[in-house]
Amino acid sequence: MNTASGLTNLMEARGTYLLSQTDFTNTQPSISAVTPSNLTPLIGDTVTITSTITDVNASAVYLGYRTDVNVPFTKVLMYDDGAHNDGSSGDDIFGVDVIVADFLQYYIYAENNNIGAFSPARAEYEFYELIATYPTIAVGDLVINEIMASNETTVTDQDGEYDDWLELYNNSSETLSLDNLYLSDDQDDRLVWQFPAGLTIAPNSYLIVWCDKDEDQVGLHADIKFSASGESAILSYANGTIVENITFGEQTDDMGYARVPNGTGDFVIQSPTYAANNESLSIDEVTFNKYLKYYPNPTSNILTLKNASYNIETIEVYNVQGQLLFQKGYSNSNTVEIDFSSFAIGMYMVNINKSNVIKIARN
């Protein structure tokens, strides 16, 4: 095999020269022990990323990270000052806090006055990754408590419209977050409408969702509408977790499809108990209503409730979304007054003794 004369000597000399240059002889910072403070974070958690950097001349250490694959990595300084969950100041452990979204992709870059180093070595093509999850509501803690699929005259939303509605009930003793939860009426598409971020429901409380496809209206208006001939109501998460999956048959105008006992029982068709206990239809309570008087309605400030034959023991006031705005207990009272002046103009449900519901307009 023929070779050009002197080529081997030339290339060896060239290699020796290049390897003698500072780009190849400078010592890179050593990056090790790249560690997140939490390997299984929840969405929205703050996670500390730490790393040990061995190089007394290291001038800067950075975390490169992103929470969206469609955006570039952001670089932020890491610190060895003892104030960033990084151990003690000057211990060569650098740290920084970041908030995790659905996921976190990240790498470390450290440099001295002459050269830098990455971990992983081929960042940003390679990177470390954390996958976040979100808390889910345990089955039975949050239930679909009542459905009205044919609301002709029962109750209106804040725009005066008789629309379908669904009542949720918190069976638990804890306030439940509805973050990441979806409502659907389609078994093949369970992610039709997502509850607004930050929405919660208090223990043993009710929440009304209007199922009218009027999302532009104020309040909770889902992008679904029930069929009075029967269909489904589903609460689920994007990860496939199903909290509730209720299938109902043909419904009767102005009748509720409700759990009895409240919150736990099977569904029955009965008179609606909007934002109230589904077991509130006994003869004694009907008699209570016979003697109940309330005025003025509409009211702009003080609402007076009177019952000459029965005590008024508790009062709860809900808006049309089923959110509790006022709650108070009474002892041996036949007359109570409630101040509506701080409430916005609209319709409200007043629940008396946790069983008798009346509609009051605030003008």
CB 306 within 8 Å of CB 288: no
Q: Are 47 and 100 in contact (CB under 8 A)?
A: yes
Cross-strand bridge partners of residue 121: none
Could you tell me if 243 and 181 are in contact, meaning their C-beta atoms sit under 8 angstroms apart?
yes
Phi and psi for 133 in degrees, rounded to 5?
-120, 180
Q: Compute the distance between CA of residue 363 and CA of residue 347 in angstroms, rounded to an integer.
A: 9
Q: What is the pLDDT along the chain (363 residues), one digit of tens a residue?
A: 555 666 777 777 777 766 666 666 678 899 999 999 999 998 889 999 999 999 757 789 999 999 999 999 999 999 999 999 999 999 999 999 999 988 999 999 999 988 899 999 999 999 999 999 988 999 999 999 999 999 998 899 888 899 999 999 999 999 999 999 999 999 999 999 999 999 999 999 999 999 999 999 988 999 999 999 999 999 999 888 999 999 999 998 998 999 989 999 999 888 888 998 888 654 456 677 778 899 999 999 999 999 877 788 899 999 887 888 999 999 878 899 999 999 999 999 998 887 788 899 999
Instruction: List the domains of the chain with CATH numbers.
Output: 28-131 (2.60.40.10), 142-270 (2.60.40), 283-362 (2.60.40.3080)
What is the predicted pLDDT for the residue at 283? Answer: 40
Distance CA 357, CA 272 (A): 10
Q: How far apart are CA 137 and CA 74, in angstroms?
A: 34
The number of beta carbons lying within 10 Å of the beta carbon of residue 175 is: 11
CA-closest candidate to residue 211, choices 258, 263, 265, 157: 157
Distance CA(39)–CA(300), nearest Å, equals 55
Separation of alpha carbons 167 and 148, rounded Å: 9
Angle ∠(141,145,147) on CA atoms, nearest 5: 145
The CA R_g of the chain, rounded to the nearest whole Å, is 32
Q: With beta carbons less than 8 A apart as the criterion, state whether 211 and 248 touch.
A: no
Q: What pLDDT was estimated at residue 107?
A: 98
The phi-psi region of residue 240 (left if phi > 0; otherwise alpha if psi is between -120 and 50; otherwise beta) is left
pTM, full prediction: 0.59
CA-nearest of 124, 262, 275 to 208 is 275
8 A C-beta contact, residue 355 and residue 277: yes
Give the Cα separation of 17 and 19 in Å (integer): 6
Dihedral of alpha carbons 154, 160, 162, 168, sign: negative
Decide: 349 and 359 in contact? Cβ < 8 Å.
yes
In this prediction, residue 279 carries a pLDDT of: 81
119-139 burial, b at 16+ Cβ within 10 Å, e below that, comes to beeebeeebbebebebeebee
